[in-house]
Chain A
Amino acid sequence: MVKPEKLIENGIRLDGRKPDEIRPIKIKVGVLNRADGSCYFEFGGNKVIAAVYGPREVHPRHQQKSTSAVVRYRYNMASFSVEERKRPGPDRRSIEVSKVSREALEPVIFQEYFPRSAIDIFVEVLQADAGTRTAGINAASIALADAGIPMKSLVSACAVGKVDDTLVLDLNKDEDNYGQADMPIAMTPDGKITLLQMDGHLTRDEFREGLEMAKKGCLEIAQLQRTALMEKYSSLIEGEVNE
């Protein structure tokens, strides 16, 4: 694709959003029967599934910690998730995303409640459209709650960036490819930041302003996460069969 001439025109972005607007979100909790907790998360064009297993026995044994649980996070993109076929298997990028996402969730999990055990989080990206790591973290945090794992709070994640010298919230594919900066942020609802990365350049003032925008975005997402969890147990009232 060629670079569009303008990424933002009269304060309206290519996909019709205002600069401080996030993409539409769709959440479904408990989509997998075998997992202890699961979540399907749509974030604009992103479609991800998160599954949580555990606490369970640690294999291989040498990874286990005697005083707390180990958290393992596996981020994986399906080969069909992007236009050009993605070669399956872990690569440099997905290993990095797995690491930072794990570290974004670890601070809220009460790991010390489950010594010598493992909490496994799997995130599969079915369709990618910029911001898959934030979508993955949002999904994983719901799946953790669904698995009944004790946490300090949920974690919400959202990106800010700069395109055409304007700060925008939650970049889409074009803005990500042709923009000047991309900064994914994950935080708890009370504003504790657990992930912050930046690609590109922002001035100090832009950084501060961007952070505030991301905070608002994350709060909005936190509300939706909460509603989704609540819905799981209100929709079950009318008998639904599960195995």
Chain B
Amino acid sequence: MFEELIISGYGGQGIMFCGTLLAHLAMEEGLNVTFFPSYGAEMRGGTANCRIVIAREEIGSPMVKNPSSLIVFNKPSLIKFSGQLKEKGLLIINSSLVEEEIVKEGIEVIRVPVTQIAQKLGNDKVANMIALGVYIKQKKIVSLESAIKGLESILLLKNKEEKKNLIEINREALKSGFKYNK
């Protein structure tokens, strides 16, 4: 296994959290993993993307030029990265914000309205977890149970007790992504 992933969107869409959670899940599975972030000075808006490498073998460079998977949360990300995707690569698109049909041959495209699904769950900020659910099911990196366990442990670590209510909605988002039918 040698997976190179780019996750990209606006600042504030939870790109970095999505990436670090995935890195955590991979680590818990005993895999090697690197996470490298890139973002602007803005707290919200601007561009945010991260590069993740997951492998059984030792990982050299954390920089990803031609990803085997790409998750895009907005249109600028699609424009910037879709051309770099490897042949037979996986492309997950937030179809709530990206209307474009992708014409590139030889890749697998999954369009999921993650922002809309998140709004239905009650908070559009969990769109990232829905996309992550779609991704880990597709790539079979971890089981849904392990993913939920990892999510809970990280949220508890980050926010201590006061934000326990966030766990519920994030868990539901991850589940709905996992169960999403194309």
* B partners with A: no
Chain B residues near A (Cβ < 8 Å) = none
Chain A residues near B (Cβ < 8 Å) = none
